[in-house]
Structure 1
Amino acid sequence: MIGMVCWSLWNRRNKWVWERVNGSAFGTKAAAVNLWVEWRRAREVDANRRPRVENECMGWNKPPDQWIKINVDAVLSQDGFVGTGAIIRDSAGHFVRARVSRVAGNWQPREAEALSLKEALSWVKELNYDYCVFEYDSKQLVDTCNGQEGESYFHTIVSDCVVLCKHFNHVLVQFVCRSANGVTHLLATHSMFGLREWDVYPTEFIHHVLRSDIT
């Protein structure tokens, strides 16, 4: 882990020297933890021997032992709101909790994505979980959370997400392919009735996706 932190600091230094990009301290730490998690996963024996990138793009992957994974997504409604969906699963792939909500306003797509991540971070923070991996299928959002700064309203919402991340002792925000994020997209499309939450047992309309994710 010390080596990963040193490598992330070196990359941050190079970005400043050559590109004048000053990454955040949280982004540097998150990059180090991401490298460490990927290193641990790379050491695991893959039964079917397929490349890791291919596996990630084909389907959902379980988080490391003792971690939980929170997949997040958003949909834009023509009725003037953003529908958000989030689901928590444990290291065995078992359902823990799920939540849908709606945020009023005519938002742009990338702002809607940032709002849904902010909603998920606030929700999981209130549940007092630690060792959390948040996954989203927007690479721009993930990259911005992990260090790319800006001044638009989108970046303002992302700054709120980064502040929320600091309330967790161990947290990752990482990119996942759309094909591995299907369950949250389905949840978000059912947000027209407002805030709803499920624990212990998932709602019926996501059963088939949950089963396919861990098979």
Structure 2
Amino acid sequence: MGLQEQVKFMTGCWAIWERRNKAIFEDGEWRADLVVRRVRDLVCEMAENWSLDERRIHGVVDDDGGWKRPESEALKVNIDAAVIAEVGVGLGAVCRNDRGEVVWCAVEQGTVEMDPAEAEAAAILHGLKEARWMNNSRVILEGDCSNVIHDLQQQRKGRGSIYLIYNDIYAICNFFDSISFTWTRRNFNKVAHELAHLRPWSIGTRRWPFRWKSLM
């Protein structure tokens, strides 16, 4: 078994263990399709450093050209979270229109302790709060954490601290005319990623509204 096969095998074992823990301690649900989805997404993330030939051999090939523009009159908000040991959590959000122009971006940084999934959910809530503050009515919320995005698409409920964040997300969704959640690969979410890791670190929220065309 080659190195990449070993990595995929270990990734599968980890995904099964992760789903088992969630079923026992959080939502009580065991579904094989969620494990398969998680394995696929993790392999896609790891494959970012593989050559094109390696990606083709292992069936991990990009089926699109990167970040996609939203439909006319809609806005797409990309979000990401950074959990930095001994520092805190950073939440980044960037909003673009159907021409690919940056409408606004924002970052919130704090010292609260969260696990990565909770931080991703908090980043989504942060992005939606900023969209509401900017009076955006039709929003596509996009992130690279497949488990959290899938939970929100299914409006999943359960026990545990992450579901308290989900409940806040469901509540704020009522203030939008149109809202949807989509997953994207990490390498198509780089601006939000950089915002979440923004330096210098500054506790609180920083916002930047834009009125000019910006690179995607």
In the superposition, the TM-score normalised over structure 2's length comes to 0.66
**1:54 partnered with 2:52:** no
Work out which of the residue numbers 162, 179, 184 in structure 1 matches 2:170: 162
Structure 1 residue 79, shift from structure 2 partner: 2.7
**1:182 partnered with 2:190:** yes
Within 5 Å, give how 1:133-212 maps onto structure 2.
133-146=140-153, 147-190=155-198, 192-194=201-203, 195-200=205-210, 211=215
**1:83 partnered with 2:93:** no
Q: Which blocks of at least 5 consecutive residues in structure 2 are unaligned?
A: 1-28, 30-61
- How many residues align? The count is 155
Q: Using the alignment, how far apart are the partners of 2:178 and 2:130 within structure 1? A: 16
Q: Using the alignment, how far apart are the partners of 1:91 and 1:201 within structure 2? A: 14
**1:67 partnered with 2:74:** yes
Q: Using the alignment, how far apart are the partners of 1:200 and 1:155 within structure 2? A: 33
Structure 1 residue 104, shift from structure 2 partner: 2.4
> What is the aligned partner in structure 1 of residue 134 from structure 2?
127
> What is the aligned partner in structure 2 of residue 93 from structure 1?
100
> What is the aligned partner in structure 1 of residue 117 from structure 2?
110
Contact 1:145/1:159, CA 8 A, preserved across alignment: no
Q: Using the alignment, how far apart are the partners of 2:208 and 2:130 within structure 1? A: 13
Secondary structure of 2:164's counterpart equals helix
**RMSD value, Cα:** 2.3
Cα displacement string for residues 166-211 of structure 1 (whole angstroms, at most 9, x for unaligned residues): 1111111111111111110011110612322111268xxxx9xx63
Q: Which amino acid aligns with 1:160?
A: D
Secondary structure of 1:151's counterpart equals coil
In the superposition, the TM-score normalised over structure 1's length comes to 0.66
Q: Using the alignment, how far apart are the partners of 2:84 and 2:202 within structure 1? A: 12
Secondary structure of 1:91's counterpart equals coil
Which region of structure 1 is more displaced relative to structure 2, 143-152 or 131-140?
143-152
Cα displacement string for residues 116-151 of structure 1 (whole angstroms, at most 9, x for unaligned residues): 111111111121111110101111111111222211
Secondary structure of 2:63's counterpart equals helix
Q: Once the two structures are aligned, what percentage of the paired residues are identical?
A: 24
Contact 1:144/1:155, CA 8 A, preserved across alignment: no
> What is the aligned partner in structure 1 of residue 18 from structure 2?
none
Q: Which blocks of at least 5 consecutive residues in structure 1 are unaligned?
A: 1-20, 22-52
Structure 1 residue 81, shift from structure 2 partner: 1.6
